[in-house]
Amino acid sequence: MLNKTINNSSARTKFGAQANISSSGAVRCAYGIVSGQQKASLRVTQYKTVAAADAQVRVTLESETGLGAKVSTATVGGQQANVMLRAGGLVNVRYGTWVLAVAAADGTLSGDQAAQMAALGDLVLKRILATA
């Protein structure tokens, strides 16, 4: 993904609050869409409390681990993040009551995929915070 060109087709979806997970809302962006499949996506979700955000990070980690993901930790924006590699990559980081998830499709990454996902998460978080 880093140092690669992807199709400039994109989509943005807003989600409302979900009481069952204590979220206040979310925004999901998909990039490089071809034939209904995206090369990369990000989702930013705000939770009502840090505990609710932590709970969702745990759910994602448990789910990906159960599906066979190779898990490592990294620092993204000064915060601990989980990097999960399984048919592509996913980096998940909590920043206060917010959770950022960045995913890259299988075949999009090359080389040190965990490092690339951490760098991508860092880049996305910096851009989000710069425009917040």
Give the highest mean pLDDT range of 11-15, 33-37, 122-126: 122-126
**4 is a domain residue:** no
Quick one: which of 22, 28, 26 has its CA closest to 47? 22
**pLDDT band for position 80 (cuts 50, 70, 90):** very high
User: Is 3 inside a domain boundary?
Assistant: no
Q: Give the domain extent around 49.
A: 10-131
Q: How many domains does the chain have?
A: 1
Does residue 115 fall inside a structural domain?
yes
Domain containing 62 — which CATH number? 3.40.1000.70
The pLDDT, as a whole number, for residue 111 is: 85
- Contact predicate 91/82, CB 8 Å: yes
Asked if residue 47 is part of any domain, the answer here is yes
Q: Is residue 70 included in any domain, yes or no?
A: yes
In DSSP notation, 65-115 reads: HHTT-EEEEEEETTEEEEEEESSEEEEEEEETTEEEEEEEETTS--SSHHH
pLDDT (mean) for 38-58: 92
